[in-house]
Structure 1
Amino acid sequence: MPLIKAFPGLRPANGRAEDVAAPPYDVMNEAEAREMVEGRPWSFLHISRAEVDLPVGTDPYSPEVYAKAAENLAKMEQEGVLVRDAKPCFYVYRLTMGEHVQTGLAAVASVQAYDNDRIKKHEFTRPAKEDDRVRQVDALNAQTGPVFLVYPSAVAVDDTLALIAEGAADMDVTAADGVRHQIWVADDEKVVEQLTREFDAMPALYVADGHHRSAAGSRVGAARKAANSKHTGEESYNYFLSVIFPHNQMKILDYNRVVKDLNGLDKEAFLEKVEAAFTLEMSDTPVKPAGTAEFGMYLDGQWYRLSLDPARIPADDPVARLDVSLLADNLIEPILGISDPRRDSRIDFVGGIRGLEGLEARVDSGEMQVAFSLFPTSMEALMAVADAGEVMPPKSTWFEPKLADGLVSHVLD
């Protein structure tokens, strides 16, 4: 079973990509999704967030939502808004956000490789979110949300993708956030064979974003395999929809923290405890850390620069060396008393796309008392954690730009 395969994608008909393309299903709330579909009858949100077509307050996990999603997908196919390619293809996918450009490959990835940890993970998943994705795939009989994978940059692959992307794109959409999404259909059999072979020679791929979607792909594949007495391994359910980018083109933003209170400490006592582990300097400007083991802190209208004592940085533990771990282990847990950031309501997380002003706003409003800015986790650090078979702390990475939903889907025959 190859690591990746070409597939006959279900995608917008010529001239319809702009009508269909939508942000990922999990980056907005219901109210925002309802606003986004106003005047857009063919937005893919009618499939990925089908509650927008049901009464306000409908449980997004109710059977009616999945049934509505299937109805909407069928309608988009019947109306010719979505069409399926006649033969297996790869799809070169380029994202452009300002000066940043990354070019990857939309393909289906092997469930077997995922189960055998050749497609490596770095996060735990939550059962409720996994169940949701499984029900969505089963209702649609299609995988519509691609898993964001990374491959160790390989010159031959990178060059092939860049060459394909020299011509006019088959789909070219600039989203409301200014990110440009371009897709080129790669259906030449020799190119398909070459890319399949070159990816198969790679030791591993890495899940960057989409752990619940990849886990759901594995679960759907296992269930359908068990139900198929004539299973061969060639069935479409043995693969899950992915877009795969080279690791050195990835853009990871900081993933910052805000905390509601000082754990019963007054400001002076809190700062005294912080100074026991960090070098603490006041700053006249917002602090965007310049390197690892450096943090910004915003408290009572004042920014501080925190530098961790190098002796506190573990030498050989890929998880404990992460900046999110260093902050948690030296400040958030011992001083602020937050030991389980997954469940503790006193802490929240702010993606770097919102900027340092997003941190200031949360504190200045009185909602939160202190904020911390972090240096972004590197792709190499993520891969080291995955290679070690370890799991990163929650909210360690914020990838930008995001993939769009609806530009190519994988039908399960």
Structure 2
Amino acid sequence: MAIIKPFKAIRPTKDKVSLVTSRSYQDYSKNELEAVMRYNPFSFLHIINPGYKFSKKVAGEERFNMVHNRYLEFLEGNIFLKDSKDSFYMYQIEKNKFKCCGFFCAASVQDYRDDVIKKHEDTISQREQLFAKYLKTVGFNAEPVLITYANNNSIEAIIDQEKQKVPEYFFTTPDRVKHTLWVISDDEAIHQLTREFAKMESLYIADGHHRSASSNLLANIFKIGNSDHTGEEPYNYFMCYMIPESEIKIYEFNRLVKDLNRNTKEEFLVRLDAMFRIENKGSVLYKPTKKHHFGMYLDGDFYSLFLRKKVYNFTDVLSKLDTQILYKTILEPILGIKDLRSDKRITYGFGKHNVIHMKDEIDKGKFKVGFSLVPLKIDEIKAIADAGLVMPPKSTYIEPKLRSGMAIYEF
């Protein structure tokens, strides 16, 4: 049984929403970030980069406190307003051929603990603690966790019905993405949505494992400090964006490695031959199209690598993942990369535009070899989560990527 709740969102006013909401901070180039900060005083980036106001770099507790102060300024300046009624917030994104529609809601921390909300990635304790401290200081969450649910005809009917109403927001951002948001405040629609989710045994985190883990840690901190704890306080929930699993788009992350671990090119290819059938494609750009097939770029040539299944042992769902196969057959035993998170010899690029970029980086001499993979399927992600296993880091790049500041959840 999955628990979701409506909440009173803090939201930008209609006339400023297109100016307030922002992409992820890391998504901006240095020049683009400077331009937005200088010429758009309403951007949410001013909240999460609070030192800009004083031409000062800030970090740690000082930054957290200043984020809180900038947030209060946006409230005091009526850039943000708080809704008077608990609501769900249906949000549709359209970009080129990609289109999705889900809704913001509050998900239960207890469901996260009980594995109703399932994970497929490891989290790093230090990052959990840092983000929990950040949340506790600033008092709000503006970055929802992306959670998927199995396609549901009843929920789809509710969404279709709500789409007939006049949206609260409709705007297009400079990256040519269309954004539409409807406020679902009708008691019957809210009841129908909560009832449908109460029938679900499992939900799946698609993106935001550290945010979920940090919210769980924060709830424990608040609980210890609250002698009147009931379990219904806002800190017992975290903001998420619920989306049917058919509407997420999964891309792959390619791998680029700086050297061949003291192997010559010929020695490297001979060692690969033990596990793969290798075909040299020459200068023809090659990208794999099937599971257990890999692309490789080395020394000016593309190669196709076909796994020799008779010599590879499939033991569980994790062993069948292409990212795990690549790690166990090449990255670890041949290239000597043990820790995929911290080894400085490997880097990643998501596959939407990375095969040509991968070639360019290797041709420039920054890397020696690159590997391309096919994207994972949602069923593979769910199978890993259901088995209580975790995927190798950078196994998936998932869209939609949500804008910050569209809806804010206060603790």
| Same fold per superposition (TM over 0.5) | yes
Counterpart mapping for 1:5-404 below 5 A: 5-28=5-28, 33-53=33-53, 55=55, 58=57, 60=59, 62-283=60-281, 284-312=283-311, 314-404=313-403
Distance 1:312 1:161 in 2: 49
Return 5+ residue gaps in structure 1 as ranges: none
1:59 is displaced (CA, Å) by 5.0
Distance 1:93 1:354 in 2: 26
Distance 1:47 1:132 in 2: 18
1:31 is displaced (CA, Å) by 6.9
What do the CA deviations read for 1:286-334 (whole angstroms, capped 9, x no partner)? 2221111111111112111111112355545111111101111111111
1:89 is displaced (CA, Å) by 0.2
Letter in 2 for 1:252: I
Range with greater deviation from structure 2 (310-319 or 252-261): 310-319
Letter in 2 for 1:385: I
Distance 1:324 1:8 in 2: 41
Q: 1:74 to 1:236 in 2, by over 3 A?
A: same
What do the CA deviations read for 1:93-145 (whole angstroms, capped 9, x no partner)? 11222111111111000011011111111111123322332122112211111
Q: Work out the number of aligned pairs and report it.
A: 410
Q: 1:119 to 1:51 in 2, by over 3 A?
A: farther
Q: 1:42 to 1:231 in 2, by over 3 A?
A: same
Letter in 2 for 1:365: K
1:236 is displaced (CA, Å) by 0.8
SS, match of residue 206 in structure 1: strand
Q: Does the CA contact (< 8 Å) of 2:142 and 2:404 recur in 1?
A: yes
Letter in 2 for 1:12: P
1:45 is displaced (CA, Å) by 1.5
Counterpart mapping for 1:398-413 below 5 A: 398-412=397-411
Distance 1:162 1:66 in 2: 40
What do the CA deviations read for 1:192-226 (whole angstroms, capped 9, x no partner)? 01101111111011111111111111111111112
Q: Does the CA contact (< 8 Å) of 2:248 and 2:400 recur in 1?
A: no
Distance 1:385 1:82 in 2: 40
Range with greater deviation from structure 2 (347-356 or 165-174): 165-174
SS, match of residue 70 in structure 1: helix
Distance 1:331 1:323 in 2: 12
Q: Does the CA contact (< 8 Å) of 2:132 and 2:215 recur in 1?
A: yes
Letter in 1 for 2:253: Y
Letter in 2 for 1:371: G
1:153 is displaced (CA, Å) by 1.4
1:359 is displaced (CA, Å) by 0.7
Q: Does the CA contact (< 8 Å) of 2:2 and 2:201 recur in 1?
A: no
Range with greater deviation from structure 2 (38-47 or 171-180): 171-180
Distance 2:100 2:257 in 1: 34
Q: 1:164 to 1:325 in 2, by over 3 A?
A: same
Range with greater deviation from structure 2 (257-266 or 37-46): 37-46
SS, match of residue 348 in structure 2: strand
Letter in 2 for 1:110: S
Distance 2:54 2:279 in 1: 53
What do the CA deviations read for 1:150-188 (whole angstroms, capped 9, x no partner)? 111111112222331244431233334333332111110
Q: Does the CA contact (< 8 Å) of 1:313 and 1:321 recur in 2?
A: no
SS, match of residue 137 in structure 1: helix
What do the CA deviations read for 1:227-269 (whole angstroms, capped 9, x no partner)? 1111112211110010011111110011110000011111111
Q: Does the CA contact (< 8 Å) of 2:136 and 2:218 recur in 1?
A: yes
Q: Does the CA contact (< 8 Å) of 2:120 and 2:389 recur in 1?
A: yes
Distance 1:361 1:178 in 2: 27
Distance 2:17 2:326 in 1: 43
Q: 1:44 to 1:120 in 2, by over 3 A?
A: same
Distance 2:25 2:144 in 1: 11
Distance 2:381 2:267 in 1: 35
Q: 1:89 to 1:63 in 2, by over 3 A?
A: same
Q: 1:175 to 1:276 in 2, by over 3 A?
A: farther
Letter in 2 for 1:381: E
Distance 2:219 2:9 in 1: 18
Distance 1:155 1:207 in 2: 21
Q: Does the CA contact (< 8 Å) of 1:299 and 1:369 recur in 2?
A: yes
Q: 1:188 to 1:49 in 2, by over 3 A?
A: same
Letter in 2 for 1:3: I
Distance 1:190 1:168 in 2: 18
Q: 1:369 to 1:2 in 2, by over 3 A?
A: closer
Range with greater deviation from structure 2 (123-132 or 44-53): 44-53
Range with greater deviation from structure 2 (160-169 or 382-391): 160-169
Distance 1:303 1:132 in 2: 42
Range with greater deviation from structure 2 (354-363 or 211-220): 354-363
1:2 is displaced (CA, Å) by 6.1
1:55 is displaced (CA, Å) by 4.3
Distance 1:25 1:189 in 2: 36
Letter in 1 for 2:239: L
SS, match of residue 195 in structure 2: helix
SS, match of residue 92 in structure 1: strand
Q: Does the CA contact (< 8 Å) of 2:22 and 2:45 recur in 1?
A: yes
Q: Does the CA contact (< 8 Å) of 1:33 and 1:52 recur in 2?
A: no
